[in-house]
Amino acid sequence: MRRTKEDAELTRQALLDAAVKVFSRQGYAATRLEDIAEAAGVTRGAVYHHFGGKAELFVEIIDNASLTGGQAIQRAIQEGGTFLEVVQRIFVYTVQLLAEDSQYQAAMALLVFNAGDSPDLLAMRERRLEQGLAQMEQVAGFFSMAIAQGAVRQDLDPQIAARAFMAYQDGLVMVSLASPGIINVEQHAAGLADVFVQGIAPR
């Protein structure tokens, strides 16, 4: 029984890996389940055994990547330091993750460039919008505490600061994906993060 579960998990992961490659090459709309099954070396039935369909496969790829990104942010927070040090570390770790984790990079590229406006993915887009709004409120709360503690500029609007933070982080992701090589982790990550940090530092 244990071996069967291990085999099933290996097949499931093989399907996810194959789906990333096929979606990246053909785009979501043009990809068929047969293409993914062939790339994974399994039957079409095996795909349905593990996933409800193409959309479920795509969503799991994105969800897994989001979990990986969230773990990087949690690591940046858990390593401690001042509020500004944590903010800078989050930006650096975001760039590092894109440069060093090919699966994460591919999944983010799928989300940004290949998802299109397919009705199949409407529920995912709506859920991600809700999550983004909730995350923005959480970040605004962190900025409110930082302002109260004198850790950042006293004239900051927490809501504006939260949106600037998320826009800057998303911008780093977009530039890294759209123009690979423009942002070099060793040469640019710390400096790019410092530009934002200096903009919110106490005067």
Same domain for 112 and 15, yes or no, is no
Same domain for 46 and 87, yes or no, is no
Residue 59 has pLDDT above 80, yes or no: yes
Same domain for 61 and 160, yes or no, is yes
* Residue of 99, 16, 25 whose CA lies nearest to 63: 16
pLDDT grade for 1, boundaries at 50, 70 and 90: very low
Same domain for 79 and 160, yes or no, is yes
DSSP state of 56: H
Q: Could you give the percent of the chain with pLDDT greater than 70?
A: 99
* pTM for the predicted model, two decimal places: 0.88
Same domain for 81 and 157, yes or no, is yes
Q: Which range among 38-42, 45-49, 123-127, 157-161 shows the weakest confidence by mean pLDDT?
A: 45-49
Residue 27 contacts by C-beta under 8 Å, 6 or more apart in sequence? 114, 116
Same domain for 28 and 109, yes or no, is no
Q: Are 32 and 120 in contact, with CB atoms under 8 Å apart?
A: no
Same domain for 61 and 144, yes or no, is yes
Q: Which helix (H) or strand (E) holds 53?
A: none
Number of domains in the chain: 2
Supply the CATH number for residue 22's domain. Answer: 1.10.10.60
DSSP state of 79: T
Where in the sequence is the domain holding 64, given as residue range(s)? 54-200
Task: Note the pLDDT of residue 44.
Answer: 86
Same domain for 34 and 62, yes or no, is no
CB crowding 24-49: b at 16 or more within 10 Å, else e: eeeebeebebebbbebbebeeebbee
For the chain, what is the largest distance between any 2 Cα atoms, rounded to a whole number of angstroms? 63
pLDDT tens track for 112-157: 888 777 899 999 999 999 999 999 999 999 999 999 999 999 999 9
Distance CA(41)–CA(35), nearest Å, equals: 10
Instruction: List helix spans (H) across 31-154.
Output: 33-40, 44-50, 54-78, 83-100, 102-109, 122-148
